[in-house]
Structures are given as C-alpha cells and as structure tokens.
Structure 1
Amino acid sequence: MPAIASNVIVESEAFRANRIAHLELIAGFRDLERKVRAASGRADEKFRSRGQLPPRERLNWLLDRESAFLELSTLCGLGMHEDDGRENVYGGGLIAGIGFVSGVRCLVAANDSGIKGGAAHPMGVEKAIRAQEIALREKLPYVQLVESAGANLLLQAEMFVRGGATFANMARMSAAGIPVISIVHGSSTAGGAYQTGLADYVVMVRGRSKVFLAGPPLLKAATGEIAADEALGGAELHSVTTGLAEYLAEDDADALRIGREILARVVWSAPPPRPRSSPPLYDPEELLGVVPVDYRKPYDVREVIARVVDGSEFLDFKPGHGPATVCGHAAIEGRGIGLVGNNGPIDSAGAGKAAQFIQLCCQAGLPIVFLQNTTGYLVGVEAESSGIVKHGSKMIQAVTNASVPKLTLQIGGSFGAGHYGMCGRSFGPRFVFSWPNARVAVMGGEQAARVMAIVAEDSANARGQPFDEAKTKAMGAMIVAGYDKQSTALFATARLWDDGLIDPRDSRSVLSFCLDTCAESDARALRPNAFGVARF
C-alpha cells in the first residue's frame, strides 16, 4: 500500500501559528477538566476523616495498574444548571469511562460524591445513559461505584422521567448476559437504591453503605416514622436479612478488591489478538501545525491521515472523482479500516463515491473512520442540476445503514447535512470524539446572518416598506455572536453531542482503543436470559 508523501513545511509561519492556536485550545479544555477534579477534591479530607477513599481514588484502586482508561464526556453539562462553566465545573457529577479490571475491558461509572454528595443532575443522567448504551452495544461488563444523595430535588422536573432509562438499561444489560456490578461506598437513596437492586452482584461496606428507598428525613416527612439509617438500610441488614448484598466488605479498598475478584472469576472471552503494525512515518505532534483552528482555511485531510495510520499508508479510492471527499483504505495499530474525510463541501460525485465506498467496507467487514471537516453539501444551480439531493441522500442512507463499526472524529467544521452524511451523533457512530477546534452547527454564523438579511430585505420589498439596514445589521451581529458561542466544541461536548474532547495528538491512540473495543465486542457471544438475573 502506498505511503502518503507529506507536503507540510514544519518550519513555516503558518505551521507555527496553527500549533500555538491548538495548544491554547487544548490548555483551555484541560484547565476545565482540572476544575472538575478540584471541585471533587475539595471533599477529599472529609472522605479520609470517615475512613473512605475519595471517588477518583476508588477508580484508581479498581482499575488495573498502568492500563489504558478512556474517560468519557469529561465536560458534560459545562455551563448548564449549577455548573457555571468557570469555577464550579462538575462534569455531570459522574466519572465514566472504559478501562480494564482484572484484565477485563469494562465500562466503569462512579458517582462523584465529592460534588454535591453525588446527587444526580440532568446532564449527569444523560451521561449515565450514554455510558450504559455503550456498555450494552459493546458488550462490556458494567461496574458502578455508588454513593449518591439521589436526585437533585431542585432540578427533578428535568430528569425524573428520563432518569428511568438508567434503571431500564441495567435490566437490559443483565438480560443480555452482561454482568452488572454495584460497589456501594456510601448512601444509595431513592433512585440510587435501584442502582444497587438492579445489579447482578452487590458489594457493600460495613458501617458505610446505606441503601433505602426513603432515607430517615423522607421517611419521617412521608409517614412520621423515625428510624436510624443503619437499621433502615445498612450494609449488615442487606447482607444478612434482606439478601440484597452478596458481599460485605470492611472498607472501600476491601470492596474494590472484591469487585476485582468478581471480574476475575466471571468467564469472559479474551479480546482477539491485535495484528502487527508500524507507526506513522510522520510525528503525530505535527497534527497541531498541519490543521488550522479556523475551519474556513483549507488543508489536505491526507496530511492528518498520514499522521494517524500505520506506516502513513493509504490506498486512495477514486482520488480523481469527487476529489473533495477523500475515501480510502488504511490500518490503525494493525486493524484494517476504511477512511472518509473532507477537503471541502461534498458534491454529487463525492457523495456517490462515499456511498459506494461505505458499502464496500460493509462487504469486507471493515470499520469506517469518519474525519469530519465540511461546510456541508454543495449548493447552487449546478449542484442541484447534478442531483445533489439524490446523491447526498444515498450517502446518508449508506452511512445510516452501514453494518460495520463507525467511528467519528470531528476535526474541524461539521455543518448542515454534511454533519449527517459524515456520521454525526444521530447516525449511530459507536464512538464520536472532537478536537477542541471543532465546530458543529446547521451553518456558519456569517452565512446565517446573510440569509436572515436577505430574507428581511425580500420581506420588506414584498410589503412595500423600506428596508431597515441598520436594524438588520445589528440583528446579524447578534446571530453571528450566538452561532459562534453555540457551535464551539465546548458547547457541543457539554450537551453530549460527542463522547468527549481529545488532544489531536491522541487521535491514533483513541481510535485504536475504540477499534479494539469494537473488535472485542463483535467477537463476543453473550448468553442472554429473559428478564435479567434476579434475587428471590
């Protein structure tokens, strides 16, 4: 397979400017992630004074040492509800990701009880649902580290009905044959009680774990009955009397040890071996200089591919036909893939080429990686005459119905129906990540402002009224500002339009991890049952 010959001049001023701009964006989102950890860390001494491990330390004790952990949606809920997006950054109050426990690839979700007692927030509920969806689809054991004050009662209207999906998903996982493990570190109240009750295996900590539908305050308010929390739902009660807990641990570390032993004893098929591979010919560090942070500045997506795929080898598919849509075969860490990328708007030829290539990948069983950077499908008289609606629709049909794993990396602009044709969130990518320079919107702000100005002028002329140019200009400025804010990568990741932001230099390792996860999933046969494992 031929290797891509890079034309990038790493000593150029443009390269240096691109690199500096990317580093600023990376530093910005990493600083916000640090604020999430700091918000939780403010309660660390409180945990230790009670003989507990803080939430992130629990995660470290659970996961295999020096193993990969892909954290998901780190900035979920940024700037929403009680997260102000500046100093009080909460990450949805949940830590979720894919990692290894006793050698088994698992989906791990931990209530960040250092933030508001682990109370559920609307976007945290959405984050939990997304994590469960990944566990279901990728056939990953689901491990919960539970300590939650229940729902945030001030925000209940925004999550109560939707929150039921977290319990339904636990039932679905068990019925599908996917082990669900709950390690209860503290209080697990109301809805949190079902996080425990719906698990297949439950580990509780003596003197710390509490599981009840109504805690002492709610019980007193509802019935007038007064009961101590230990007698109402303590670990020993559930280990001896109710049978809710299978294992009784002495402290957090012991509970996590038991959790690791459960995963070690569950018979779970080993991942398929990874083929041999070679690194790219070009340093992934150069990605920061290759790609402008401004989506309006053109570059060749092959320069990105050359710094991500094995040996920088890429078999270009129909390079002269529909050249703005780049398709071809490559490999990442030895796993063969098809790649679809953008060098501009998608025209009819490019849409047809992409649709054919996607079907060929399905025929060969090759996962498809989409590198999104497009202003959308081409418009205009010539484009319409060429059948852009027909060909674009066929591309969208091919993307939607592709039978192989789809991974999406948003590396620039992702506008209009181009977001759809390049496998945006709603089109079933197994994973979708974004670079911090990514933009997602129906169109660019300037274009939206021009459209609204033309509509306003045409409307005024149709009514025989004077056109207020100053008012329209002011409205246009508001539109541009609004689109600029609402199309950023931070705005998108806060709303779970992706599975998180990544440093561009980590693209190869993240894609490789996700491809391994998909390969392991596709090779695994589950043993489903009718209703999920139940306690009697």
Structure 2
Amino acid sequence: MSGGSGVVPPRRRLNSPNVIEPPDSAETQQRRTAMLGKIAELAAEHAKAVEGGGQKYVDRHHARGKLLARERVELLLDPGAPFLELSPLAAWGSDFPVGASVVTGIGVVEGVECVIVANDPTVRGGASNPWTLRKTLRATQIALENRLPLVNLVESGGADLPTQKEIFIPGGRMFRDLTRLSAAGIPTIALVFGNSTAGGAYVPGLSDHVVMVRERAKVFLGGPPLVKVATGEDADDESLGGAEMHARDSGLADYLAESEHDALRIGRDIVRRLNWRKLGRAAKPSRPPLLDEDGLLGIVPEDLRIPFDPREVIRRIVDASEFDEFKPLYGPSLVTGWAAVHGYDVGILANAQGVLFGQEAQKAAQFIQLANQSRTPLLFLQNTTGYMVGKDYERSGIIKHGSMMINAVANSTVPHLTVVMGASYGAGNYGMCGRAYDPRFLFTWPSAKSAVMGPAQLAGVLSIVGRAAAEARGQAFDEEGDAAMRAMVEAQVEAESLPFFLSGRLYDDGVIDPRDTRTVLGLCLSAIGSAPESPAAGFGVFRM
C-alpha cells in the first residue's frame, strides 16, 4: 500500500504497463505485517548504536564543545549526500555496546565517494575493542578493493586494555592496510580531534594527509604517566603530543585546524584537491522499477521452508522492472538473468525453490562464466537450503556439479554483491557467494537465517548419531534426554542463525529494510565503479 488513504493502487506487471495486478492477498498482508515487525526490531537495535555511550556521555562530550562521531560525519559529507553506514550492529550480543564504538560507511565528500571511519569517544573514550578492530579492518578492505579514499575521524584512547590479547596481534593489520592503501595510490586522510595514543598514534603517522585540531588533538606513543614510569621525565599532554607541537616541531601534522569545524573544512579541501577520477564503467541512464518497492515487504514468508518467487523481488529492484532471464526452463530452482540497477548492468542469480540441484549448479557455472566474459558484476539473491542430498542425487553427480558452481564463484573476478533474503544453509551459502567468498558487499534482510543446516535438521542428525552410538554400546537410548537435547540444540541454532547475531559478528555489512535494497545496491555499484575493471578470470578444472 502507499499513502494514507488505505486504497490499494493498481500495479503494472513486468514490461506490461496495461495489465493490472490484483490487490494483495491475505497471505501477502500477513507476510508484510511480520516483516514490518522485524523492521521495527531492527530500528530499535540501530537506535542503540546511535546512542553511543548513552545520554550521560553524549552530554559530557557536548559540554566539552565537541561534536559526536555522526555529527562529524554529517559535516564532512556534501550537503544532502547519502551515507551508506556499514556494520551498524557490530558487537551485537557481545559484552560491548552495539556499534563497537566506531562509525564506518561510504559517503560523498566534494563529489568523491570515500570510506569514512569515525571513532565514537562517548563509548569508553573511543577505545578499540575486538569488534571495533574487525569493523575497522572491514572498512579498510572495502576502501582497498573498491579504490575509495579513506578518511579517518580520529579520537580514540587506543586499545581496550582488558581485551588487549584479542586486539594487539591482529591489530597490526590496520597499520599494514593504511600503508597498502597509500602504496596503491589510494589517499588516506586523518582528521585528529582528540586523543590518538599508543598504537592509535600510527593512524595519523601512516596517513597521507594529517589535520590536527589546536589544543584538542593529542598524539603520542606513550602518555605522561607512561613516560614518567618509563623514563622518569615529567611532561604534559600539550608538550608531549599537542597539535601545535606536531605542526611546529615533529612535522606529523600537515595542517593545524582552529576548531573541529575548521578541521572538517580542511578535510573537504584535501579531498577536493585530489582530482579523483573513477576508473570503472559509468552508469547508463536509470529508470525506476514499474512495481512499487513497498511490495518487497509481502514476499518472504515467516516460515522459510515455504518457497517464494525471487522474480517478484527482482521486478521491484531493477531498472524499469526489465529482466532478461537466462535458461528459464533449465534448472528452474535457480533464476538467472541480466538487468540493470541504477544504470549499472548486473547479472543476477536468485534461488527460486531453495534447493540447488545438478542442473542449477551447471546453469550457475555457465552464467558466471558469461558474466566474466562481459565483465558484468554479479548479484546473488540468497534463499537456499543447500545442495540436494539423497541416493539418486549422489549418483547423478551432485557433488561434482556443486563443486563446479563453487569453483566458478570462487574464481570469478567480476565484483560480487550478495543479499540474503531468506535461508542461507549449508554449502548453498558458499555457492551463492556467502561471506567466505569475499563479495564486495553483503547485506541481509531481517527475514534471513544462516547456519550449517536448519535447526530441526541439525538436531535430528545429532539425535540419530546419539541413538546409533547407544545401540553400538548395547545401552538403552534415553528418549527424554534426547528430546531435551533436540529442543536445546534447535533453540541455540535458531538464535545463532538470526540476522542480528550474524551481523553482530560482521558476517554481513548490515541488516537492511527490504525497501532500501535498490538504493543500497545502487550506492555499492557506484562505489565499485571507482576501481578499474579487474583482470579476466582463470577458472580451476571443472569436474564434468
């Protein structure tokens, strides 16, 4: 529905503007209501990330005359420019606040798409915990893969010391990535608003351009207490690592800003003078879908065992709802074809019935090869329970066919984007380009679930194994204990397969409202276009 009148507007079918779609069914309305409930839960979790350290620390930060992390980001961006926030639910379900004390995302600065990393000093002084590190490393990976300038908005007390064992050794990758970005000709910019101590001092130290705010920025390897203990020397913050000292004496600061607003202005000037140029394909003129994006809310059933037609999703996210389907009669459980999103050509692979059979796997491998020949990015729309099992399917070669598809995905060199709409179980997650296969971007809907298999199947397998072990030992099988075990395992797997849990561990780049899918994909495709086209693919041996 649209508007507030309660009237259902007529809908046009794919490429048939004179054909009227019927109003939504009761089943569609039920699915829509369930999805809206999940979206409300998502909004509540996102609000926790926006809260940072809570109102007390927000007020204290403002009282010091400082801007919040998201306020800094907003002022850095071009007026009205979108900001695609990444991993906002990082650390969800852990001992650390949702958001992991850092804001990351892609935004437009002086007309240039940049990756932005902003420490949130309202959360334990912006200290980095294990999830902060993972989130930051993911942001730098995106900058490197897509050739996007990286802007760090720095105010951090360094590592969260109680968890240093999980940060110190892998944390060196952050500094390695900064040097690799620079070596690849991708600019790195550090705007330092407050503390940048210990290992954090290397963020400006390894950046191409450094701006420090007078009387606010403090950059040193060891603060006054550590210097006193280590050397016996007395020093204050300003003389040890103040912005003016670094601008006059050490040379670490390239620009000395008079205020936070001034630092952000200088940062924008730096980006403007980069004379940055995109090296990828330009977008063609974009045309909106014929079908309303609101219809995406009523497609995915609550019970993911019930199949749905992914064409209904495709028609609502691609330009003019035009989709040229490839091999529509062969391997019908996987829908493949060509379309455009916001003017960018894409090849789409979408699960139709959940299960992947041999024909589907062969069809996917051929389609991926064709996309690589034309250098067309691939979009995977996941709703899969995995590859089919059973005697007949093993005899027909499901292992070699599934391996062929996984081989094609793993060695494809065009950019991949993945959206998990529903189920993502077993090796189907791999064949449909899950996180382990390094898609450029991966987002999930609130309806998504992912695990090695469904909760009931996993518990059932454990039950069968336990029963066989008891029989082998000649012992009576504990039926009550088995029922309790099955219930416990099902509950655990269900909880650990939900999108908030998975997003909290950075197995995706964010959980999104289905209605935002087209916009998110458009922003990602535009960002991908900053990098040149990747070299041609070289595939491994396909076991025929």
* 2:52–2:101 CA contact under 8 A, matched in 1: no
Deviations 1:11-57 (A, max 9, x none): 31111111111111111111111112123462333233322222211
Task: Tell me the amino acid that sits aligned with residue 58 of structure 2.
Answer: D
Residue 153 of structure 1: CA displacement?
A: 0.4
1:420 matched to 2:433: no
Residue 290 of structure 1: CA displacement?
A: 1.6
Instruction: Find the aligned partners of 2:484 and 2:228 in 1 and give their Cα distance.
Output: 57
Instruction: Find the aligned partners of 2:69 and 2:286 in 1 and give their Cα distance.
Output: 37
Aligned twin of 1:318? 327
Aligned twin of 2:158? 150
Task: Tell me the amino acid that sits aligned with residue 504 of structure 1.
Answer: P
Query: Structure 1 pair 501/7, CA: closer, same or farther in 2 (3 Å)?
Result: farther
Deviations 1:408-449 (A, max 9, x none): 000000000000000000112110000011101000110011
Aligned twin of 1:166? 174
* 1:10–1:286 CA contact under 8 A, matched in 2: no
1:376 matched to 2:390: no
Instruction: Find the aligned partners of 1:2 and 1:390 in 2 and give their Cα distance.
Output: 38
Instruction: Find the aligned partners of 2:313 and 2:307 in 1 and give their Cα distance.
Output: 13
1:508 matched to 2:504: no
* 2:52–2:120 CA contact under 8 A, matched in 1: no
With a CA cutoff of 8 Å and minimum separation of 6, indicate the structure with the bigger relative contact order: 1
Task: Tell me the amino acid that sits aligned with residue 288 of structure 2.
Answer: P
**Where in structure 1 are there 5+ consecutive unaligned residues?**
84-89, 526-536
Residue 77 of structure 1: CA displacement?
A: 0.7
**Where in structure 2 are there 5+ consecutive unaligned residues?**
1-13, 536-544
* 1:238–1:244 CA contact under 8 A, matched in 2: yes
Aligned twin of 1:294? 303
TM-score by length of 2: 0.93
Residue 220 of structure 1: CA displacement?
A: 2.5
Residues matched between the structures, number:
519
Aligned twin of 2:404? 394
1:207 matched to 2:215: yes
1:198 matched to 2:198: no
1:46 matched to 2:60: yes
Deviations 1:311-341 (A, max 9, x none): 2111111111111011111111121111001
Secondary structure of 1:522's partner? coil
* 2:215–2:243 CA contact under 8 A, matched in 1: yes
1:23 matched to 2:32: no
Instruction: Find the aligned partners of 2:401 and 2:16 in 1 and give their Cα distance.
Output: 30
Secondary structure of 2:195's partner? strand
Task: Tell me the amino acid that sits aligned with residue 102 of structure 2.
Answer: L
* 2:378–2:415 CA contact under 8 A, matched in 1: yes
Secondary structure of 1:92's partner? coil
Secondary structure of 1:108's partner? strand
Residue 255 of structure 1: CA displacement?
A: 0.4
Identical columns (%): 50
Choose from 2, 8, 11 the match for 2:24.
11
1:351 matched to 2:365: no
Deviates more, 1:284-293 or 1:220-229: 220-229
1:484 matched to 2:498: no
Task: Tell me the amino acid that sits aligned with residue 472 of structure 1.
Answer: D
Query: Structure 1 pair 326/296, CA: closer, same or farther in 2 (3 Å)?
Result: same
Task: Tell me the amino acid that sits aligned with residue 256 of structure 1.
Answer: L
Choose from 411, 435, 440 the match for 2:445.
435
Task: Tell me the amino acid that sits aligned with residue 364 of structure 2.
Answer: A
* 2:413–2:534 CA contact under 8 A, matched in 1: no
Aligned residues: CA RMSD: 1.8
Instruction: Find the aligned partners of 2:113 and 2:427 in 1 and give their Cα distance.
Output: 35
* 1:145–1:184 CA contact under 8 A, matched in 2: yes
Deviations 1:70-108 (A, max 9, x none): 00000101121333xxxxxx3011100000111111000
Instruction: Find the aligned partners of 1:181 and 1:422 in 2 and give their Cα distance.
Output: 36
* 1:2–1:315 CA contact under 8 A, matched in 2: no
Secondary structure of 1:326's partner? strand
Task: Tell me the amino acid that sits aligned with residue 226 of structure 2.
Answer: L
Instruction: Find the aligned partners of 2:309 and 2:223 in 1 and give their Cα distance.
Output: 59
Instruction: Find the aligned partners of 1:481 and 1:217 in 2 and give their Cα distance.
Output: 49
Task: Tell me the amino acid that sits aligned with residue 70 of structure 1.
Answer: L
1:133 matched to 2:146: no
Aligned twin of 2:115? 107
Residue 294 of structure 1: CA displacement?
A: 2.6
Query: Structure 1 pair 384/233, CA: closer, same or farther in 2 (3 Å)?
Result: same
